[in-house]
Structure 1
Amino acid sequence: MPKVGMEPIRRRQLIQATMQAIDEAGLADATVARIARHAGVSTGIISHYFGGKDGLMEATMRQILTDLRSAVSERRAALADDDVRSHLRAVIDGNFDRSQVSQSVSKTWLAFWASSMHRIPLERLQRVNDRRLISNLCALFRRCMPLNEARDAAAGLAALIDGLWLRGTLDPTGLDVERARRLAYEYVDYQLTRHMAASLNATDSPTSPEPSKERTHG
């Protein structure tokens, strides 16, 4: 874990420098020396506060994840009502916020995903982030559908968000945020409409008449 005591401005400066170095040269060649050069500091400062490149990568991803949580929570807090559809759209919008789709952040996310398969601290961050997204989506879908259906809908939306982001990031023309949001919105509309229709059908279906009881004669 990074040491405490570094000024927030300098810390943010080093995190930005890390993303710039990854954007410029990829994770493998984003050396401490390159990062230090971008930040205008000595390599000793990075080693002292972060223990090296791995610690700085972890701190960088923690900051990106903090920005992601803020982007989602601020949108949900601004909603005037508790409508499920609106809150699900707020989660989608937060995941495609500008703080998550810039070129430097996108490349850092890709590097993080790849590295999380080999580095335990990063794997923990990825697991926590994934569980948080699924849990939040499931809690929202659960307001209007049974638990098993809510879990499936949440897993599907999480996969769609990640998939749209990944394909857009790898596209040479870049991520079309509006299109990605629209496709994710359509998935939410489909799930909510499908469940509403199923609920209405269950309510409107006539009850079967009780079987007649034939009178027996003794």
Structure 2
Amino acid sequence: MRLLLTSAGVSNPSIRDALVDLLGKPIADSRALCVPTAQYGHPMCGPASAWRFITGQTPLPMCDLGWKSLGVLELTALPSVGERRWVPWVREADVLLAAGGDAMYLCHWMRQSGLADLLPSLRDTVWVGLSAGSMVMTPRIGGDFVEWTPPTGGDSTLGIVDFSIFPHLGHMPDNTLAAAQRWAAEIAGPAYAIDDQTAIKVTDGTAEVVSEGHWKLFSSEP
């Protein structure tokens, strides 16, 4: 799977170009499924914000980019639908667009639904994450970002990539560089702090920062 891990969606031409490169064809020729599930786990989100994400009624460009087709993949529904129905939907999509919200809630339902197990076989599919939709692909999110607590506890996520992400750097009062440094010390592994004009493009396990803004890499090396 190819990844475009963003803080605030496809927010500038550089990130859009990275997306087109990952797709290997124009956005207008690409079929998308959006995943709003993370919205339901975060106290600042809910049905209204999920609708705004799906319909592109937000300042965070994802679903409104001009896709050939756009569908909704709600992970909480998948266990009751059955894999014979939903797996073909996912395999036919060129890109999965994961909303922000609560990364732990999203991680839980990716595992419960079976989507997490399917990901390694999606060699040509692009995953575009927005905030929590990006953080879910990392090994850990850090205690500062845990709102919804999974049954197993902790802050571990899918570990598809080997680094963690601190999103919205400088965008919110609490998301300062000093806060990111404290967070990175807790993570104790490679970690990026990225602002809303930055994304991390991952191809064949290699990460590349795409930015028209500000970011910082915190290394675990002494």
Q: Shared fold (TM-score greater than 0.5)?
A: no
Which is greater in Rg?
1
Higher normalized strand content (fraction of residues)? 2
Scaled by the length of structure 1, the TM-score of the pair is: 0.25
Scaled by the length of structure 2, the TM-score of the pair is: 0.25
Higher normalized helix content (fraction of residues)? 1
Q: Which structure has the higher relative contact order (CA within 8 Å, separation 6+)?
A: 2
